[in-house]
């Protein structure tokens, strides 16, 4: 019984680490997307054209439906980085694709650093 619990915990830890790495990768790709194609305050736009923050994230995730654990983790870490401010408020405050790209990179770094510890 004890061995089963340990194996289950190791599996959950591995899954959590994989989810963190996947989330970090999506944030990095969204940052790159913004720098490559541009950004706008509102509007999803079309892939390959300037998109809002959520549109850039959507462009960086291949599935049409987000995994629950992944989306929850991404929302939590983004919210922490924004210190409780909404992404919409951040977008309207800075009105800068570079600011959003930097935000996404900071979240990716946070996720990556917590994976390795």
Please write the tens of the pLDDT for every residue from 4-43.
Answer: 444 444 554 666 889 999 999 999 999 999 999 999 998 8
Compute the mean pLDDT over every residue in the chain, rounded to the nearest whole number.
87
- For residues 87-111, give the mean pLDDT: 96
Task: Specify whether the CB–CB gap between 102 and 69 falls below 8 A.
Answer: no
Q: How many CA atoms lie within 13 A of 85 on its CB side?
A: 12
Evaluate if residue 99 carries a pLDDT over 60.
yes
Task: Specify whether the CB–CB gap between 44 and 58 falls below 8 A.
Answer: yes
Banded model confidence at residue 73, pLDDT cuts 50, 70, 90: very high
What pLDDT, on the 0 to 100 scale, is given for residue 69?
94
What pLDDT, on the 0 to 100 scale, is given for residue 8?
47
Residue-wise burial string across 64-87, b where 16 or more C-beta atoms lie within 10 A, e elsewhere: eeeeeebeebbeebbeebeeeeeb
- For residues 71-89, give the mean pLDDT: 95
Task: Specify whether the CB–CB gap between 97 and 35 falls below 8 A.
Answer: yes
What pLDDT, on the 0 to 100 scale, is given for residue 63?
87
- For residues 87-107, give the mean pLDDT: 96
Task: Specify whether the CB–CB gap between 53 and 27 falls below 8 A.
Answer: no
């Amino acid at each position: 019984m004890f061995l089963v619990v340990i194996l289950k915990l190791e599996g959950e830890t591995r899954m959590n680490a994989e989810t963190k790495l996947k989330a970090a990768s999506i944030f990095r790709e969204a940052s790159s997307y913004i720098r490559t194609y541009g950004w706008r305050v509102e509007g999803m736009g079309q892939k390959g054209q300037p998109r809002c923050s959520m549109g850039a994230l959507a462009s960086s995730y291949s599935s049409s439906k987000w995994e629950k654990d992944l989306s929850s983790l991404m929302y939590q870490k983004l919210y922490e980085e924004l210190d409780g401010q909404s992404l919409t408020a951040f977008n309207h405050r800075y009105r800068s694709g570079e600011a959003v790209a930097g935000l996404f990179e900071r979240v990716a770094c946070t996720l990556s650093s917590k994976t390795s510890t």
